[in-house]
Amino acid sequence: MSYPFQLRSAADYEQAYQSSVQNPELFWSQIAEHFHWHKKWDAVLTWNFEEPKIEWFKGGQLNITENCLDRHLPAKANDTALIFEPNDPKSATQKLSYQALFDRVNQLAQVLKNNGVKKGDRVAIYMGMIPELAIATLACARIGAIHSVIFGGFSAQSIADRLQDAQVSFVITCDGAYRGTKEIPLKSVIDDALVQCPFVEKVLVYMHTHTPISMLKDRDLWWEDEVAKVVALGNPICKAEVMDAEDPLFILYTSGSTGKPKGVVHTVGGYMVYTTYSFVNVFQYQEGDVHFCTADIGWITGHSYIVYGPLCAGATILLFEGIPTYPDAGRFWDIVDKHQVAILYTAPTAIRSLMGFGLAPLEGKSLSSLKVLGSVGEPINEEAWHWYHEHIGKGRCPIVDTWWQTETGGILISNMAGITPAKPAYATLPLPGVQPILLDENGTVLEGNDISGNLCMRFPWPGMLRTTYGDHVRCRTNYFATYPNLYFTGDGCYRDTQGNYRITGRVDDVLNVSGHRIGTAEIENAINSHTGVVESAVVGYPHDIKGQGIYAFVIIESVHGDADLSKLDIAQTVTRLIGAIAKPDKIQFVQGLPKTRSGKIMRRILRKIAEGAVDALGDTSTLLDPSIVEQIVKGAEL
């Protein structure tokens, strides 16, 4: 397979960038032509950022799974589509050819159909990182059902919120998942969530860990049994539902600055074109390369660069169930050698945590198959960049620092491996088709280089979100209202003298903990629901491994007994309500919070205290009660 839209030199990049700005419609239609459409589009792009209304390839008809699977058959029937590396290195590796993956997706798609799932229905998927998770997403896409994958670390309450918001009728899960030495009882968490969700009609359960579970009559079905019924009728092909390019493909919930996560909606056509285009260009994928993306399919990285982009490109993907440190900190490197991985795409937090183990876990590992390294999810610090470059890439593998978001669908700013230059800690340049712009807080456009501002996009790209599920106004308010006629990313950014972009972090109340996005308001809501808590304020602080840690300032009525126990209780409540990823690292009981006279919490001050910069608190004179600050500083958990 060749990739007609793969740019192969810096000159290609320059030229493509120019054409993408001069004539975006021509640029994108020439890329979209290389996909399988039942009917070509009527218009390449219709848009305005006021509503917003964004339509790409409108009137075009397609099914994304025909592009991921059918299109590669029979030519690639025996080529490996998916390699599964289980949590336990002693368990057997699995390989699925493109033919096998096609068969399994068709079987499951037929199971969904037989159980009444129709085009447009919402299906939630709550599973561990096993091949069946990829199969489940593709089976939904095959029949036009909208999938909502929920990360396996979320609590029953978080799941229930998401199921309710999308009015999900069908859930796909498994008995349990392995994570290092732990076994996560996924089905039992789903059972707890469903107590609040009577509108869910069916639950399909894949048996993976053999964890004892209970099955509810008339609601719960075994995956294997249902598939067996379908297979008994001959090896089925489930006809792919013909979708309009602008029909929704999936919903993925992500945190914002309000208490409630929002369901980011991506549509079929533009998302397919953008993920494939960015995949082959950023990673410079070559036929036969094994692509190992360590993200969970529960996050956008897994959707775009494990499932859809790579499979549309006919790539070989590696799916890993475990964690980087089990059974030891050499696990990633063993996998790279065992499966001759060419592209490794991981997060700075993983790199930093592995750095902490020194070089011993690298002994005896060759890593000679590696060609390209990738980083995603948060700014990568220079120290981690150099370690990754020197010790993993042996100085010969380009590192792509890929900046993007759940909302952008795919990578927007990144160097292209070996094609455009890397710069440590910089995402560097926008992909052709992407038009970044920096503004200050007053909305003034910051022209020229060597300047910092808020990062926006001034022109649509095919992979961008179309709406937030069930609440279009929220989509406008969140992304299109801060700066009129621009998409606002929520990130701060510096543009150096050469025009390279360096993302400096969120400028809103969203934390990035180990590459996971979490709203401070969500954590505060959870803390505030704990008995005895009067009020709380959560901020992030620099954390060596996680990037950001979570620091909670909590006003409590009174502490009965041991204060540390009360803190543990509060942390547990957060875990129960949201999930372990939101658990505060530090909790400080305070008498009051620094508030302005209008009652607004001055988070700037709390952030300074949390990072230990107590000498740089700045002006506190506008506070209602400046003495509160002194008290907080005295009791700070540093």
What residues line the site for ligand WT7 (CB under 6 A)? 254, 299-301, 376-379, 401-406, 427, 489-491, 503, 506, 512, 517
The token pair that represents 85 in the structure block: 């590396």
Block residue for tokens 């590459």: 515
CA distance 53 to 46: 8
Return the number of the residue (24 or 409) whose C-beta is nearest ligand WT7: 409
Return the number of the residue (113 or 466) whose C-beta is nearest ligand WT7: 466
From the list 312, 253, 282, 131, the residue with the least C-alpha distance to 519 is 253
CA distance 618 to 47: 43
Q: How far is the CB of 547 from ligand WT7 (least distance, A)?
A: 9
Please tell me whether residue 303 adopts helix, strand or coil conformation: helix
Return the number of the residue (256 or 584) whose C-beta is nearest ligand WT7: 256
Return the number of the residue (206 or 299) whose C-beta is nearest ligand WT7: 299
Q: How far is the CB of 478 from ligand WT7 (least distance, A)?
A: 12
| Positive/negative CA dihedral, 261, 265, 270, 275 | positive
The values of phi and psi at residue 77, to 5°, are -50, -40
Q: How far is the CB of 505 from ligand WT7 (least distance, A)?
A: 6
Q: How far is the CB of 68 from ligand WT7 (least distance, A)?
A: 20
Type and span of the H or E element at 173: strand 170-174
Q: How far is the CB of 308 from ligand WT7 (least distance, A)?
A: 14
CA dihedral angle for residue 516, residue 521, residue 526, residue 532, rounded to 10 degrees = 140
CA dihedral angle for residue 354, residue 357, residue 362, residue 367, rounded to 10 degrees = 10
Helix ranges (DSSP H) in 246-324: 268-282, 300-302, 309-312
Q: How far is the CB of 82 from ligand WT7 (least distance, A)?
A: 21
Return the number of the residue (370 or 427) whose C-beta is nearest ligand WT7: 427
Return the number of the residue (174 or 582) whose C-beta is nearest ligand WT7: 582
Buried b (16+ CB within 10 A) or exposed e, 113-147: beeebeeebbbbbbbbbbbbbbbbbbbbbbbbbbb
> 582 CB contacts (<8 Å, ≥6 apart)?
513, 518, 522, 523, 526, 550, 574, 575
* Count of beta carbons in the 10 Å neighbourhood of residue 211: 17
* DSSP per-residue letters across 567-591: HHHHHHHHHHHTBGGG--SEEEEES
User: Per DSSP, what are the bridge partners of residue 510?
Assistant: 519
Residue nearest to ligand WT7 (CB): 406
Q: How far is the CB of 137 from ligand WT7 (least distance, A)?
A: 17
Question: Which amino acid belongs to residue 137?
Answer: T
Q: How far is the CB of 384 from ligand WT7 (least distance, A)?
A: 12
Return the number of the residue (45 or 503) whose C-beta is nearest ligand WT7: 503
Return the number of the residue (65 or 301) whose C-beta is nearest ligand WT7: 301
**CA max distance for the chain:** 77
User: Per DSSP, what are the bridge partners of residue 547?
Assistant: 513, 543
Please tell me whether residue 306 adopts helix, strand or coil conformation: helix
Return the number of the residue (414 or 588) whose C-beta is nearest ligand WT7: 414
| 403, 374 contact by CB (below 8 A) | no
CA-based Rg of the chain, rounded to a whole angstrom? 24
Return the number of the residue (165 or 191) whose C-beta is nearest ligand WT7: 165
Return the number of the residue (247 or 378) whose C-beta is nearest ligand WT7: 378
Return the number of the residue (247 or 491) whose C-beta is nearest ligand WT7: 491
> 108 CB contacts (<8 Å, ≥6 apart)?
135, 136, 139, 223, 227
Q: How far is the CB of 504 from ligand WT7 (least distance, A)?
A: 8
Return the number of the residue (341 or 425) whose C-beta is nearest ligand WT7: 425
Q: How far is the CB of 205 from ligand WT7 (least distance, A)?
A: 28
Q: How far is the CB of 489 from ligand WT7 (least distance, A)?
A: 6
Cα angle 427, 431, 436; round to 5: 75
CA distance 491 to 376: 14
Return the number of the residue (62 or 438) whose C-beta is nearest ligand WT7: 438
Q: How far is the CB of 267 from ligand WT7 (least distance, A)?
A: 17
From the list 83, 90, 88, 64, the residue with the least C-alpha distance to 131 is 83
CA distance 606 to 264: 30
Q: How far is the CB of 491 from ligand WT7 (least distance, A)?
A: 5
CA dihedral angle for residue 571, residue 575, residue 580, residue 582, rounded to 10 degrees = -70
Q: How far is the CB of 383 from ligand WT7 (least distance, A)?
A: 15
| 246, 466 contact by CB (below 8 A) | yes
Q: How far is the CB of 256 from ligand WT7 (least distance, A)?
A: 10
Return the number of the residue (276 or 588) whose C-beta is nearest ligand WT7: 276
